[in-house]
């Protein structure tokens, strides 16, 4: 972190994937000018654009899946999609994540192994993986988790599954948590897990943000 904005940490990592054609950052109407201001001073090797989803408060927000659907429709995307929520800070290499995606040929979600069930209980979505890293199901913040794999909001969707997002939304499914979409996709196609041990911080809470700040202090 340091003097570098959080979004820059993520964009820097995404740029290292050769196959990425363009980086799209979706935000709400309130923060749209701030992101545009940041982008003017950001030196990027790939094309980066800021998209305004038009929402102004929590009452009309689209949620993570809603924003994904918005971008897919707005940009008429028919390709594979790498999705990373802005409240993720992680140490694994996206290059490795993408390599696993290519090898499996299926939608991929990144899981951080917290090693102890007490650390995931009631706090994070949990992935249940079967043979060959296939995701069997998700548990949303279980009191008694059946694994120590915390689901991070880092996904790569195949172009086939990108087309299914509209169907998911049309069915009135949950629009906020990407884990609900992934759990739905488990029943529709095939999803695999990428498990990493490197650091990961969910900075959607003050506690997570403080931990990340201490970790990154003096590293840049």
Q: Provide the domain limits for residue 211.
A: 6-216
Q: Give the span between the Cα atoms of 109 and 202, in whole angstroms.
A: 15
131-143 pLDDT, tens digit each? 889 999 888 888 9
- Secondary structure letter of residue 5 according to DSSP: -
Please measure the distance between the N-terminal and C-terminal CA atoms of the chain and give it in whole angstroms. Answer: 8
Going by C-alpha positions, the residue among 50, 108, 98, 63 that lies closest to residue 204 is 63
Q: How many CB atoms lie within 10 A of CB 130?
A: 11
Series of mean pLDDT values for 10-residue runs along the chain (220 residues) = 75 94 95 95 94 86 90 95 91 95 96 94 92 89 92 95 92 76 90 94 80 74
Q: Give the span between the Cα atoms of 214 and 128, in whole angstroms.
A: 31
CB of 137 within 8 A of CB of 184? Answer: no
Considering the domain boundaries, does residue 13 fall inside one?
A: yes
Q: Give the span between the Cα atoms of 130 and 74, in whole angstroms.
A: 36
Domain count, the chain: 1
Q: Hey, is 80 helix, strand or coil?
A: coil
CATH number at residue 122: 3.90.550.10
The answer to whether the pTM exceeds 0.85 is yes
CB of 83 within 8 A of CB of 151? Answer: no
Question: What pLDDT sits at residue 219?
Answer: 64
Considering the domain boundaries, does residue 1 fall inside one?
A: no
92-143 pLDDT, tens digit each? 999 999 999 999 999 999 999 999 999 999 988 899 999 889 999 888 888 9
What contacts 20, CB < 8 A, 6 or more positions away?
Answer: 14, 46, 82
């Amino acid at each position: 972190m340091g003097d570098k904005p959080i979004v820059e940490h993520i964009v820097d990592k995404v740029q290292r994937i050769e196959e990425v054609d363009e980086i799209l950052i979706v935000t709400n109407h309130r923060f749209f000018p701030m992101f545009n201001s940041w982008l003017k001073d950001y030196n990027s090797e790939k094309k980066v654009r800021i998209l305004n989803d038009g929402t102004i408060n929590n009452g009309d927000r689209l949620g993570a899946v809603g924003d994904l659907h918005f971008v897919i429709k707005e940009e008429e995307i028919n390709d594979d999609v790498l999705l990373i929520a802005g409240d993720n800070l992680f140490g694994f290499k996206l290059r490795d994540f993408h390599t696993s995606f290519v090898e499996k040929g299926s939608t991929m979600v990144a899981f951080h192994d917290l090693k102890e069930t007490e650390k995931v209980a009631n706090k994070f979505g949990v992935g249940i993986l079967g043979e060959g890293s296939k995701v069997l199901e998700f548990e949303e913040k279980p009191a008694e988790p059946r694994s120590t794999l915390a689901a991070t909001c880092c996904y790569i969707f195949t172009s086939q599954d990108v087309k299914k997002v509209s169907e998911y939304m049309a069915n009135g499914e949950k629009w906020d948590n990407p884990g609900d979409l992934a759990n739905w996709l488990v029943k529709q196609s095939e999803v695999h897990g990428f498990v990493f041990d490197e650091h990961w911080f969910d900075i959607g809470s003050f506690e997570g943000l403080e931990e990340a700040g201490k970790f990154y202090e003096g590293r840049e």
